[in-house]
């Protein structure tokens, strides 16, 4: 359920016509619905209400300060994977003791920043990282609270690029080596072993993989406790899928219902969740304008002013995003490719899609773009990144202004030997 709906054939975000925003702010533009975002966050939060829990939004899904601040004020913590994300979370007013820090390649500088900030937990992904963190914490006179990220080797049945819980993936510590790794961690002076972390992949549309993975983790926690290693936090990661095109992922409530009995077996673990996509994905759309139409002997193209630099998911994962007109009208349907202006054949938003026959100059909306949309965008082809707008009820706010040509070259310089 989201608040992008038609009223009299005009697409609205909450009570604001999309056309009004596009005309004032320009295109391409990401538009988010505050009430949808909060609704999705609360659905996860409330599903786990029976447990002592913390919902840490995965900042990588959408890292705009206004989005983070909206969620933080509703009680969310944050799941971060870099110093930059930590900086953003702190700027958005997130309490450090609600921040968990994952990632296979944390640098010393990043770990120092996180230690000094007082983050709740480091999700440690290797023995080498554990040793480095121990040393660093010691040199700062601090103790690092740690959850080891354990890879349970289950198949999340999702796109290979976003599956992380298989033994061939680079993530986490193998479940078969976990006990040994925990024993080492427990001996380190500046490490406080506090939890277990798992995250098996993203856009998962069945409860099965979550349940299978968790069963293995619950067994592990029991074994750890039996040898005197106390586990206070169970971090379940993220990964719950959304509907892009008819998928029927479990609702947060059903997801919680499926795994709660397993968690209850542990009696008294604090649960952490790291949802990204399910919170922000359907709370955002990308709005673009048709620049040209073109028909070759092979196919029809609709060329729009948003490209793979704005939304890379179709090019990178062959991901499906629904495309709809901002103004609905009676007209024939045609099969087309919707493409951007980038100089790459891989620059498409939809391929061989049957869509209403768009006109030049018309606005269209690419749906389900609130997660991994703007946050994965780039300046490729020296395209200024899109503006971002947050709508709440009948008002809208520009939460990131469109980049200018000046911002494109910010920080670049021509060395003296090239200046005559
Ligand atoms: N926790 C960890 C440790 C993660 O690596 C991720 C996502 C999440 C939580 C959040 O997962 P979510 O609830 O959003 O599925 N760019 C890809 C998705 C990459 C996900 C990476 N990790 C896409 O556009 O589909």
Could you tell me if the CB of 58 is within 6 A of ligand 1?
A: yes
Strands (E), 98-185: 99-101, 121-124, 144-151, 173-174
Q: What is the pLDDT of residue 160?
A: 74
Note the pLDDT tens digit of each residue in 280-313.
Answer: 999 999 999 999 999 999 999 999 999 999 999 9
Q: What is the pLDDT of residue 153?
A: 87
The mean pLDDT of 239-248, rounded to a whole number, is: 97
Q: Which of 276, 279, 308, 318 to mutate to test the pocket of ligand 1 (most atoms within 8 A of CB)?
A: 276
From the CA of 276, how far away is ligand 1's center (Å)?
Answer: 6
Q: Whose CA is nearest to atom 16 of ligand 1?
A: 372
Note the pLDDT tens digit of each residue in 359-383.
Answer: 999 999 999 999 999 999 999 999 9
Could you tell me if the CB of 275 is within 6 A of ligand 1?
A: yes
Could you tell me if the CB of 197 is within 6 A of ligand 1?
A: no
Active site residues: 343
**Angle at the Cα of 196 from the Cα atoms of 179 and 91, rounded to 5 degrees:** 145
Domains of the chain: 4-31+281-408 (2.40.37.10), 103-273 (3.20.20.10)
- Of 234, 217, 236, 231, the closest CA to residue 274 belongs to 236
Could you tell me if the CB of 325 is within 6 A of ligand 1?
A: no
The mean pLDDT of 374-394, rounded to a whole number, is: 98
For strands 4-7 and 10-13, give the pairing: antiparallel
Q: What is the pLDDT of residue 171?
A: 80
Q: What pTM does this model have?
A: 0.97
Residue 325 belongs to what H/E stretch? strand 323-325
Q: Whose CA is nearest to atom 7 of ligand 1?
A: 202
Q: Which of 202, 205, 317 to mutate to test the pocket of ligand 1 (most atoms within 8 A of CB)?
A: 202
Residue found by looking up tokens 């983070």 in the block: 68
Instruction: Give the chain's mean pLDDT.
Output: 96
């Amino acid at each position: 359920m989201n608040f992008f709906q038609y009223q009299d054939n005009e697409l609205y975000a909450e009570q604001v016509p999309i056309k009004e925003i596009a005309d004032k702010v320009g295109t391409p533009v990401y538009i988010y619905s505050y009430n949808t975002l909060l609704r999705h966050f609360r659905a996860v939060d409330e599903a786990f209400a029976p447990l002592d829990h913390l919902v840490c939004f995965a900042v990588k899904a959408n890292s705009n300060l206004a989005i983070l601040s909206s969620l933080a004020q509703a009680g969310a913590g944050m799941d971060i994977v870099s110093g930059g994300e930590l900086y953003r979370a702190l700027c958005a007013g997130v309490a450090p003791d609600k921040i968990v820090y994952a990632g296979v390649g944390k640098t010393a500088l990043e770990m120092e920043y996180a230690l000094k900030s007082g983050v709740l937990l480091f999700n440690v992904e290797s023995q080498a990282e554990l040793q480095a963190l121990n040393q660093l914490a010691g040199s700062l006179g601090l103790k690092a609270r740690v959850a080891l990220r354990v890879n349970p080797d289950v198949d999340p049945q999702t796109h290979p690029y976003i599956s992380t819980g298989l033994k061939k993936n680079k993530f986490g510590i193998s479940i078969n080596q976990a006990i040994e790794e925990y024993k080492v961690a427990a001996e380190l002076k500046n490490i406080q072993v506090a939890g277990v972390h798992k995250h098996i992949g993203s856009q998962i549309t069945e409860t099965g993989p979550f349940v299978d993975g968790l069963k293995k983790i619950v067994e592990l926690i029991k074994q750890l406790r039996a040898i005197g290693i106390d586990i206070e936090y169970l971090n379940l990661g993220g990964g719950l899928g959304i509907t892009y095109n008819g998928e029927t992922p479990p609702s947060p409530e059903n997801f919680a219902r499926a795994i709660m009995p397993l968690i209850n077996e542990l009696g008294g673990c604090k649960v952490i969740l790291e949802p990204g996509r399910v919170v922000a994905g359907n709370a955002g759309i990308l709005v673009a304008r048709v620049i040209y139409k073109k028909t070759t002997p092979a196919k029809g193209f609709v060329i729009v002013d948003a490209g793979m630099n704005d939304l890379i998911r179709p090019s990178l994962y062959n991901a499906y995003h629904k495309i709809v007109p901002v103004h609905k009208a009676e007209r024939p349907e045609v099969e087309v490719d919707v493409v951007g202006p980038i100089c790459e054949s891989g620059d498409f938003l939809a391929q061989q899609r049957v869509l209403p026959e768009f006109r030049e100059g018309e606005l269209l909306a690419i749906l389900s773009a609130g997660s991994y949309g703007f946050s994965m965008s780039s300046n490729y082809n020296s395209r200024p990144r899109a503006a971002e707008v947050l709508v709440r009820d009948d008002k809208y706010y520009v939460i990131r202004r469109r980049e200018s040509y000046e911002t494109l070259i910010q920080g670049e310089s021509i060395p003296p030997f090239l200046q005559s």
